[in-house]
Amino acid sequence: MKKRLVLVLLLLIAILAGCSSSPDYTVKVTKDLYYQKNTEMPLEIKVTEGTKAKAATGLNASAEVSMTSMDHGNYEMKLAEGKNGTYSGKVKLPMAGKYEITFTLEKDGKKTEKVIDYAVTMPKGVATINGKWITNADINFYKFINYLQLAMNTETAQKEYSGKQLEEELAYLKTEEKNAGDKNQLLTQMIRLRAMAMLAEEKGHNATDEEIDSEINKVRGQYSQYETAKAMIKEYGDDQFWKIEKEQYKMIVLVKKVQQDLEAQVKKENPQAGQQEIDYLAQQKYEELLVSQVNSLKIEIL
């Protein structure tokens, strides 16, 4: 009788031990899942374990996505492990809406499921910086500015060159059209500008209306010298163009203040240096600061 009781107690202890050793995972979405037609879209999660939220590494992770209000079937994705307990994958969904995502997390033969309700929406743009969108309209405006500059360069070439020299210059400008409209290059330009403008504000700088208007008046004067530029801006819509341009020049003024700080620092560190060397060293410091600033931001590109 005593042996049986001991065996029952040992079995109970084993069962309780097995239950208590089940991993206590928490899943948090760190890169939102959006819907784009006929496109695989990324999802990233961070998995932590226990009350101390320790990063859960070495998991065999997957996800199954299904709509909660419509029967569009289940969509599975394998999640690849990244750094510090992050796991990511891609899935092509049929539409935006309310979904249920079941995450399967397995390690050392122990399998855990975590289920969350999730609203999949259409993306508001092409990227986010600390949660703020860079929209398609932003990209299109930058593209327009690049084409505006090309048009002015073309008009200048037609006034200054002739014959073979003009042909060569126009051929070169034609090849630049592709770069002017390249989405990746446009996005890079915008990230650089916004990142450094944010840094300027972090350092306590601001752009006054007077400073912005001063820069706007300069660029107005430049555009007014070119018939092609005036025609393109009129077609775009004068009021709309200058409203957006003012927003851009607020950031440009802020970035210039960071550049001025760096130039002053370089002059202080190199009192005997000429202006050319100062410009070179200040630009080096600027690029290093830019890399550091971009790395400190949460930038998501769709």
Whether the per-residue pLDDT at 1 is higher than 70: the answer is no
247-301 pLDDT, tens digit per residue, is: 999 999 999 999 999 999 999 999 999 999 999 999 999 999 999 999 999 888 8
Higher pLDDT, 5 or 295: 295
Phi, psi of 218 (to 5 degrees): -65, -45
CATH number given to 24-120: 2.60.40.10
Q: Residue 4 — pLDDT band, cuts 50, 70, 90?
A: low
Q: What is the pLDDT of residue 73?
A: 80
Retrieve residue 120's tokens.
């999949």
User: Which strands make up the sheet holding 299-301, listed edge to edge?
Assistant: 132-134, 127-129, 299-301
- How many residues in total does the chain contain? 302
* pTM for this entry: 0.74
Domains of the chain, residue spans: 24-120, 135-301
For residues 182-206, average pLDDT: 94
**Mean pLDDT over each residue of the chain, to the nearest integer:** 90
